[in-house]
Amino acid sequence: MQLTGMLWGRKLLDLVEFPHSEVGGPESSVDEIKDMIKKHGEVFIKPVFKGGVGKKGKSGLIGRAKNIGDALKEKERLYFAEHKDGTATYKADGVTFEGAVPAKYEIYFSISESTVFRAPTMTITHHGGVDIEELEPSKIAQVPFDPLTGLKAFHVSNALEGLGAPAEVISPLVQNLPKLWDLYNNYGMLMLELNPIRMNPAGGRLTPVACDFKCAFDQDDPAWKRLGLPSHVFASDYSEFEQEINQLRTYQGQSDVFIMNDKGTITAPTFGGGANAMVTELLGEDAIISSDFGGNPPYEKMNDIARISFKYWLPQSNVLFIIGGKANNTDIYETFRAMADGLRAFFNERGPVPLFVVVGRGGPNLIRGMSYMKDTLDTLRVPYRFFGHDSAMSEVINYALAVNDWMKAGGREEIKAAMNIS
Amino acid sequence: MHKQGVEKFPYYVGIDNLSQLATKDDRVVVLNILGKESSTVTPTSHEYSGGNVVFGTGPGKSGKSLPTKLGNIPVYNSIKEGMLAGHKFNVVVVYLPPSGVKDGVAEAVRHNPDLKKVIVLTEKISVKDARIMRAICQTNGVDLFGGNCLGLADAWNHVRLGGALGGSHPEESLIKGSVAIFSNSGNFTTTIAVYLATAGWGTTTSVSSGKDVYIQYGPKEFIHAFDNDDRSKVGVIYSEPGGYYEHGLESKKPLVACVVGRWKARLSKACGHAGSLAGSGDDAFAKEKWFMDYFGVDGIYTPGNPVCSKKGALVTNIAHIPEALTQVMKANGMKPDFEPQGSLALKAWFGSNQGLKLPKNLDLPQVEAISPYNEQIQALDKQVGAQFRRETMKDASGASMMDPSTQVSKIHNTSILDASKHTFEANLVYSLLKEYPSAYGETIANMALNGYVNQHGQPALAAAEAARENGSSPNTVAASAVGIVGRKTAQKAMDAAQALLELFQFSKLANPEADFDYAAQLKEGAKCKDALVSASEDGCAAKWAEGLKKAGNSVFVNFCLDLAKQEKGHIGCDTLLAATWLTLGWTSLRTKKISKSTLTRLPWYSRVFSTLVGITAPASRQTEDSFCGVKIADLVGKSFTETAFMALLGRAPSKDELFEFQVLLGLIITNGPGTISAQGAKGAVSADGPEQPDRVQVNKGFIGFLSHTGFAHGGNGYEAAAFLIEKFKDQPLKSADDKNHGIDLEKIAMDTAKEYNAYKNEQKAIGNLEYAKIPCVNHPVFKGKDVNMDPREEFVRKLFEEKGLDNVFLDFYHHLVNALFKAKVSKNVYCVNIDAVIAVILLKVVWREYKAGDMKEEDIEQASFSTFLFGRMIGCAAEIDDHTNRGRNMDTRTPASQVSYVG
């Protein structure tokens, strides 16, 4: 759950009265843009992406204009711009117009949880405006602080002094930056980054003005809901399937899913974070989803998960692959019964689909669970192999992959014929 | 701000040696001890550790306790209350829901200065709470573990703190040895221990660290304590992307690191472990490199590329840990702790190809599971037949359903369209056994059904005749007769079925139509003599047995005959009826499609089927040795479909008529559990109390079905027949399959449409909107297109076309829907719906008799209704059996709060 850009960032900064550049949304009229250019001499035009998107500047996705004609041209260019970041492609939906802020210095500032210090940590430099990874470590200060007392003025001043920052930036930053801890701490953030904060000399004294905004929220902390952000802000983070599953999210039993390849052919309900890491890695592109349904989900929840997952993915699946290690406390009978009933319901409602079921599992009530699944598959005439926890999980995964390969090479048709599916 | 612990750390760490992590001296308090998870896991931990839990808390639950084999664990409202009661402890295990965890930890730290360890099992704790808990524990000198972890276990000390490491039988996985485990995954902590045993390695201390953003007790703390632990000779670190916890890790002892999660670089949000979302420098590749640099190796250890050093090895697959660890230890001159236990090779505990031929590499044989699972699987073999979960079956069915989009109903997942290609007898068998019978099966089913069809001199026929004479409708007549087919009618046959079941249920008999050595059962047979052997000879039974033998092979029939010989007695009809139905139902029982009680009740159903068909023929057509003019000896060899036809119409059908009649019956089988007939059957079962299936009266179930049919449901098929008679009675049509009938169907259709249009306009003009509709055209689902089709009608029409079966009445219906459109009665071409098909088939069958004056219109109406009853009997038999197996007592009633009074 990430949020980038000033369209929403300015509203969050207003909550703690942190100064920011003047921002107009996609709805800004020609007159408003003209006024902005008149007032600031120049405007930046930035595409609005949903979710967390970085490195926009480097990709030429920041326009700047000193007249309305150029501004509108840039608006047209960037309104639906596409941006590739790693393996993901993002599509913009709108632009912001942001008044240019003249500045002597650019500051980078962030708060995040450091796994080195195991504490919330401020990262700061007065050499901001560039990617922080590109700077020498000596130019950056990382300051962990006590979460019970929070980020204090002295953390900021000591850090800047240590970096040898110009004296004129220290006081205004000391006055303003600690406010951001309130934003971070009170609204369930995992990361908050302002880069750049431009130190504006207008009025004779430097004022820090946030010109870009990025934050990530903790999904397990309901505090972000207090912000009242519209749900569409995070909508791109989740597919329909993921949203449906997420509605089942409670602390009892995991229900984490991520679509790996919506053209994949193996549906793999996976139990346990470790199994999830291993299974998804070895299945590669064949996996439709990556999931973790461990944590001893009750029957009803598991049955709902199974029904939703089957509804979306079973028709295209060659293999239903139920996989986990030797469960510690997940009741295999309850979870298998829930999935078997889900499968039976799917066949009843939608008709049979050609399928091979591979199971690798151990844990409490294992044989009862496997037996229930076996009886169900026998009734549905679905072929299967079940392995206990004494078969290496990786070998079971390889077996599932081999079944999938055979299915692709004609096995699916054979099963179709055997199951009398027209 | 933190207390001073182990000096080398810039934060508080209290544990100096792994042997201190989980000790016999630790005394534990469990927060939310009566929660679902804790109440299951805590007793095992407590018992495994020799009773280390002193009390638990649960707000408002003071005075309660958690039972364990070592005695009850007391529960208090709060930690304060527990301490006031005199309990001392140094460990707190937290099972609170996420929002309460932080407060629980604060409570424990505040009230107990002796507190040393806090283990948090809870998942989905917010990062904010995690950092605050850490700060509280740091300030007060408490070691914190988790959240989202499974705690700590020590195989040497036989102690488990926190969660369920080792599952419900920790001693199976936590075998004493020399390996210390630190794992981000709780499940893998146990799984790695299990894998290690296959190479002969046991464990010392196992730490499940959790993989939230905050790992409170990290690898560095673990390695420090590991280095100081003389018991631990080698360490296993399982880690996932995200965080710098493993960066710069160094140990005095060898290590095997397993890093999994390269693909996680593709994730844009956490899936599974919340902390597994890497940034730029802490992904799986980075972590692999940290370890490779430390070990001084240039690759990942795999069996094909076994790279390791004395310092250790890196693997990316947990299955490679045992081998890599053995190699690393070999380099250090150390041998495994014990002989390898089992192997990690693929072993399929369960498998079925469902008749498919799989390639060799996939066709893995089933192998015996390791102990104790093999014994459990063996015990499963003793579970014979299906066991259904009982639930409220009001408006629900495990037998039938209607697909709302296609309107095609299914019985046991077979559409009625497909079912209509099977004979009446095959569908009757299928309704109860969920499997169509083989050719031999159909033959012996016919013998059983026909053998009891003749009702001459029987009270059931007398009841039916009386009801008929007094003007009852066909369903009421049938109900009167079926009421007489009570339990005692079939009791002997059911006893015989039960005896056969008991003799054979644990045998290897899979296919009762193949040869089987039943010598062992014969030896046991004497004790079932009363149920299976008759003292006196029965000529009828002898002939039946001869017929069965001639038709094919049945293990049960052969066995009963041999048993009778062995016991110097005779075989009776009841025994043969039982043997027949056991032959039919055995495979379904073995494959757990049906329950044992269904199997033993089959003879009762059989008797009801025979009776319902038998009483449809009037007494005048039944004699002591004949039925509708056919000698009983000949009748048993006929198809029961033919018998039903004869019972209805008093004559034998032609081959084509037989097929059409079969299709007709198939189409009527079911319309899902919502139909009144199904509801009646289900209600009757529900009222008997299916939770004691032996109390359910099968014949009463059928009475429920029959009493829930009537002139509006079942009898209404006649409307269409009456409409057609009206149109064709004055036409020179001799036979409905006469292609050269010479009748201008188009003209009749257009006249009808025009007439109807005029009638409709007239009725509308006088304000009557309830004007009569033409029966069997149009459908609420199959409408709206230019030309509409009911797929069920289309299916049957094509089926008949393939067989070359013509039907003038069906042709007329198609002309009619076009004429209605042309005459502007309809805005598009209506479909001819499935009810029309039923009407036209029936009318075609009786047309000759009607034209010859042998059948009157009311006779056609009666035949139409009885045909419906025959077809629906199939579906309702399935509902009765299904509800008996799955339903709850009185589950079809509607609560008083949901009904209304209309005064």
Confirm or reject contact between B360 and chain A (CB < 8 A): no
Task: Look over chain B and give the mean of its residue pLDDT values, rounded to a whole number.
Answer: 92
Instruction: Give how far Cα B477 sits from Cα of B464, B467, B469, B621, B706, Å.
Output: 5, 5, 9, 16, 9
Q: Which of B243, B261, B356 sits opposite A415 (nearest CB)?
A: B356
Q: Among the ranges B387-391, B511-515, B602-606, which has the highest mean pLDDT value?
A: B602-606
Q: Which of A88, A329, A391 sits opposite B37 (nearest CB)?
A: A329
Q: Which residue has the higher pLDDT, B392 or A273?
A: B392
Q: Which residue of B has its CA nearest to A365?
A: B168
Beta bridge partners of A96: A46
Percent above pLDDT 70 for chain B: 97
The full DSSP string for B459-479 is: HHHHHHHHHHHTT--HHHHHH
Spatial separation of the C-alpha atoms in residues A158 and A169, rounded to whole Å:
13
Rounded to two decimals, the pTM is 0.65
Task: Determine, for residues B413 and A281 on separate chains, whether the beta-carbon distance falls below 8 Å.
Answer: no
Contacts of B296 (CB under 8 A, 6+ apart): B309, B311
Task: Determine, for residues A399 and B132 on separate chains, whether the beta-carbon distance falls below 8 Å.
Answer: no
Helix (H, G, I), strand (E, B) or coil at B829: strand
Tokens of A13: 């900064």
Tokens of B365: 């044989």
pLDDT of B76 higher than 90: yes
Q: For the ranges A404-408, B199-203, B377-381, B848-852, which has the lowest average pLDDT?
A: B377-381
Tokens of B489: 């009618």
Residue A250 has what pLDDT?
A: 59
Interface of B with A in 159-218 (CB under 8 A): 163-168, 173, 183-188, 190-191, 194-195, 198, 211, 213-216, 218
What is the number of other CB atoms lying within 10 angstroms of the CB of residue B486? 15
Spatial separation of the C-alpha atoms in residues A138 and A128, rounded to whole Å:
13
Confirm or reject contact between B262 and chain A (CB < 8 A): yes
Residue A57 has what pLDDT?
A: 65
Confirm or reject contact between B404 and chain A (CB < 8 A): no
Q: Which of B264, B269, B386 sits opposite A277 (nearest CB)?
A: B264
Burial of A294 (0-12, 13-18, 19+ CB in 10 A): buried
Beta bridge partners of B505: none
Residue B3 has what pLDDT?
A: 86
Confirm or reject contact between B243 and chain A (CB < 8 A): yes
Residue B408 has what pLDDT?
A: 86
pLDDT of B693 higher than 70: yes
- Please give the CATH number for the structural domain made up of A22-100: 3.30.1490.20
CB pairs under 8 A between A and B: 297
Model pLDDT for residues B844-880, shown as the tens digit of each residue: 999 988 988 888 888 888 888 999 999 999 999 999 9
Task: Determine, for residues A328 and B165 on separate chains, whether the beta-carbon distance falls below 8 Å.
Answer: yes
Task: Determine, for residues B352 and A352 on separate chains, whether the beta-carbon distance falls below 8 Å.
Answer: no
Residue A128 has what pLDDT?
A: 83
CB B159 within 8 A of CB B52: yes
Q: Which amino acid is at A23?
A: V
Spatial separation of the C-alpha atoms in residues A182 and A184, rounded to whole Å:
5
Instruction: Give exposure, A59-84, as e/b (b: 16+ Cβ within 10 Å).
Output: eebbbebeebebbeebbeebeebebe
Residue A252 has what pLDDT?
A: 54
Q: Which of B173, B342, B356 sits opposite A414 (nearest CB)?
A: B356
At B456, the pLDDT band (50, 70, 90 cuts) reads: very high
Contacts of A415 (CB under 8 A, 6+ apart): A354, A355, A356, A383, A407, B356
Task: Determine, for residues B191 and A148 on separate chains, whether the beta-carbon distance falls below 8 Å.
Answer: no
pLDDT of A6 higher than 60: yes
CATH superfamily for domain B18-26+90-331? Succinyl-CoA synthetase domains (3.40.50.261)
Burial of B428 (0-12, 13-18, 19+ CB in 10 A): buried
Q: Which residues of A touch B195 (CB under 8 A)?
A: 392
pLDDT of A248 higher than 90: no
**Structural domain A239-418, CATH architecture:** 3-Layer(aba) Sandwich (3.40)
Residue B133 has what pLDDT?
A: 95
CB B138 within 8 A of CB B10: no
pLDDT of B432 higher than 90: yes
Task: Determine, for residues B127 and A1 on separate chains, whether the beta-carbon distance falls below 8 Å.
Answer: no
Domains of chain B: which residue ranges? 18-26+90-331, 346-382, 393-419+654-903, 434-652
CA B441 to mean position of chain CA atoms: 26
Model pLDDT for residues B663-678, shown as the tens digit of each residue: 999 999 998 999 999 9
Mean pLDDT of B90-102: 94
Model pLDDT for residues A122-150, shown as the tens digit of each residue: 999 999 877 788 888 899 999 999 999 99
Is the CATH number of domain A1-20+102-237 1.20.120.1200?
no
Task: Determine, for residues A258 and B243 on separate chains, whether the beta-carbon distance falls below 8 Å.
Answer: no
Instruction: Give exposure, B412-425, as e/b (b: 16+ Cβ within 10 Å).
Output: bbbbbbebbebbbb
Domains of chain A: which residue ranges? 1-20+102-237, 22-100, 239-418
Q: For the ranges A82-91, B101-110, B506-515, B520-529, which has the lowest average pLDDT?
A: A82-91
Model pLDDT for residues A54-104, shown as the tens digit of each residue: 666 667 788 888 988 888 888 888 888 888 766 667 778 888 999 888 888
What is the number of other CB atoms lying within 10 angstroms of the CB of residue B187? 32
Report the relative pairing of strands B348-352 and A384-387 from DSSP bridges: antiparallel
Query: Nearest C-alpha of chain A: how many angstroms from B355?
Result: 8
Q: Which of A51, A270, A329 sits opposite B40 (nearest CB)?
A: A329
Q: For B17, how many CA atoms within 13 A lie in the half-sphere containing its CB? A: 8
Percent above pLDDT 70 for chain A: 94
Helical residues (DSSP H) of B470-554, grouped into ranges? 474-482, 487-504, 519-525, 529-532, 539-551
pLDDT of B377 higher than 80: yes
Q: Which of B282, B359, B401 sits opposite A348 (nearest CB)?
A: B401
Spatial separation of the C-alpha atoms in residues B80 and B86, rounded to whole Å:
10
Task: Determine, for residues B40 and A284 on separate chains, whether the beta-carbon distance falls below 8 Å.
Answer: no
CB B409 within 8 A of CB B669: yes
Mean pLDDT of B247-274: 80
Task: Look over chain A and give the mean of its residue pLDDT values, rounded to a whole number.
Answer: 88
